[in-house]
Every structure is written in C-alpha cells, then in structure tokens.
Structure 1
C-alpha cells in the first residue's frame, strides 16, 4: 500500500510517499497512523498532534476509524493555510 504525505508534512519528512506492508493487527486508518508513527521518529514528531490531520483512503476523505482492508492508497493531510 502507498502512503502519501502532503504540504508541510512532506517537506518535514523530505519524501512524498512510502510503500508499506502493515501487520494484520492494523485494521483501521487510525491503527495505520499509530503503526507508521511507531516505525518512524520523524513522522512521530511531525504528527505530535494527530487530531489536526485529515486522512484519505483511495482519494476520499474519510474518518480515522475507516477500515484499512482493501485500501491501495492512504494520504495524510495536514491542515493547510491559504494566502
């Protein structure tokens, strides 16, 4: 599965995406984010306040408790400012 990072999160991580194979106990998008953060100190630090982020599953914004099964792509979207 591909995990995409956008805006300032992508800049902080210095990458736009990762290919991951989460373990079977990762069942929801919230589980995925928790697992990703446990694997990557930079991501953990950047997502210190996870409630501010939106998640997308296969190009649709969805709640954090959305099942992960069958997802091809998950995007982590930080809050954005306009100007």
Structure 2
C-alpha cells in the first residue's frame, strides 16, 4: 500500500450513454456530452452538476479535477443560498 491523500480513478474516455438516456432533462450536444456551464458546471437540470469526460469528451485528469473544483464551489453556493 502507498499512503495517499487523494486518489483519482480515471477510467474511460467518453460519456456514458445510459446517463442521457435515463435523464432526458439534461441537454446534450451533438456528441452526446452533457451541456454544462463552464464556470459553474451547472447543467440544464436544477441541482445537477457535471464535469470531466461526460462534458468535455476525452480529456485529461487535470482538466476534470479543475472542473470538479469549480463544481464544488458552485454546489456550496447553491446549498448555502438556494439560488440556482
């Protein structure tokens, strides 16, 4: 075992079609990626954020981590203010 503070598992390189098939409220682009605000990661469905490969397509873990950080800030704001 190697001690670690954070472990990021990066598996796959594209959006899972099951997500969009079972959640038609989420807007997608022509490649099947979920449409999300690049600053907040908010999707077209209230209370749902998205980032990483499901938004960008195949991208780096670094980009996905950055999106996760922005999403976390937006989620915190939503939970504390209730403003979407």
TM-score range, shorter chain: under 0.3
Provide the TM-score with structure 1 as the length reference.
Answer: 0.28
Higher helix share: 2
Higher strand share: 1
Provide the TM-score with structure 2 as the length reference.
Answer: 0.28
